[in-house]
Structure 1
């Protein structure tokens, strides 16, 4: 499964959330699961229990920066598939190249 998620603290003494986000991303990277972080979400790949354990640990890490935590999450649950973190993008790029080819 792929899970894209975003965490943010609220009730923090400052409006800046970069330290909290860094703490969450550190948890994800230390998990050893395949992952990708962009400007909006972190996506991780693994089985249900692995992925949600990491999301919980990341939420706990963000919780240290405020009195509440906001979580946005989207999941692609596809049993029997792995490597989809990059394979989905590879298929998209192949489709883009094919649609650009006039022949």
Structure 2
């Protein structure tokens, strides 16, 4: 499965509203997990089995808790049993489709 999640504290007391210090702690947890992952400006994606992925999400959330009075967690999951390497595989298929080579076979002409 792939889980995309975003975790951030609120009630930090920072005048600029920045949460980068807290998010850095969450990303450190993800990186230390050893699971395939990718972090973008708004989400971190992590791939693995259900229990191991959610263990990391929980630990990342706990790493953010000291930075504010509450924590916001957003999760989206792609659950596809029997598939691995989809963190990159999905993007590779998308790029092939954009380039016009989606791997589909054309119907024979009559």
TM-score of the aligned structures, taking structure 2 as reference length: 0.87
**Cα deviation, residue 51, structure 1:** 0.3
Unaligned runs of 5+ in 1: none
Q: Which moved more, 1:56-65 or 1:9-18?
A: 9-18
Instruction: Say which structure is richer in helix.
Output: 1
Unaligned runs of 5+ in 2: 102-110
* 1:13 Cα offset (Å): 2.1
Moved over 2 A (4+): none
Match of 1:48 in 2: 50
Structure 1 or 2, whichever has the larger Rg, is 2
**Matching residue of 1:12:** 12
Cα distance per residue 1:26-67 (max 9 Å; x no partner):
000000000000001000000000000000000000001011
- SS of structure 2 residue aligned to 1:55: helix
The 3-state SS of whatever aligns with 2:76 is strand
The number of equivalent residue pairs is 99
